[in-house]
Structure 1
Amino acid sequence: MLALADKMFTALSRGDVAVLDEIYHADVKIWHNWDNAEQSREDNLRILSGIPTRYDDFGYDEARCAALEDGFVRQHVIRATIGDKTVNVPTIFRVFVDGGKVRRIEEYLDAGELRKVFA
């Protein structure tokens, strides 16, 4: 589980959708607390592919991950920079894994912090 978590977040930080495409289950759902909506696999991959072009710098700091029987929980601080503005947003991901593939992601963060800095 921890190796899968590392692979996933390395790909996320780079916007590497080829790796995410490989580790996502065919019907993965991504839920966000800020809009209480589930995102499809296709929408998620499209949005994530733009990370390298949207930010001057983007990464995950202070990562802590715990393996669970059915997946993992990862806490980190998203660090994103555009120009002279940088934001640090504490985040938690609960990831459910089935058959070695990511089946569901539940992402908890204060999206208002991102919007406040990058509006």
Structure 2
Amino acid sequence: MTDIVTFADDFFGAVANGDIDAVRRYYRDDVKVWHNFDNLEQDKATNVATLASIPDRYDTFEYAEIRHTPIEGGFLRQHVIKASRNGKRAHVPAILRVYVEDGQVYRIEEYFDYGQLKSALGF
């Protein structure tokens, strides 16, 4: 089980550090990333583009209070999104169910209050 925690740390380390090439390698080509706030699934190219655009959309962006919990077929990731934009700050809790098979992510289900993020940062 600790192998999946190491995988989780490494994968989200790549996300947090903006290592988009590494994120691509962690994703299967058919990965789907679903969000509760819009009930839509992103494909690999769309999600990678979203992650790559974080520095353009925020002045600061980080994940805090990180926890990874191994579960059957992957792990749960809990964190708080800490972001700032134009002098405004947001702290938004999130949880993700990450499905992993053969060393690659094939599905993510992400739950957080996007309205809270938008409201706090003035989108």
- Which 5+ residue runs of structure 2 have no aligned equivalent? none
In the TM superposition, residue 83 of structure 1 has moved relative to its aligned partner by: 2.8
Q: CA RMSD in A?
A: 1.0
Match of 1:116 in 2: 119
Match of 1:48 in 2: 51
Match of 2:76 in 1: 73
Paired with 1:15 and 1:44, the residues of 2 have a C-alpha distance of 13
Q: Tell me the percent identity.
A: 45
Greater mean deviation of Cα atoms: 23-32 or 61-70: 61-70
SS of the residue corresponding to residue 20 of structure 1 reads helix
TM-score, normalised relative to structure 1: 0.95
Match of 1:19 in 2: 22
TM-score, normalised relative to structure 2: 0.92
Retained in 2: the 8 A contact 1:70–1:97? yes
Match of 2:12 in 1: 9
In the TM superposition, residue 54 of structure 1 has moved relative to its aligned partner by: 1.8
- Look up the equivalent residue of 1:64 and give its one-letter code: R
The 5 A counterparts of 1:68-107 are 68-107=71-110
What is the aligned length?
119
- Which 5+ residue runs of structure 1 have no aligned equivalent? none
Q: Say whether 1:63 aligns with 2:66.
A: yes
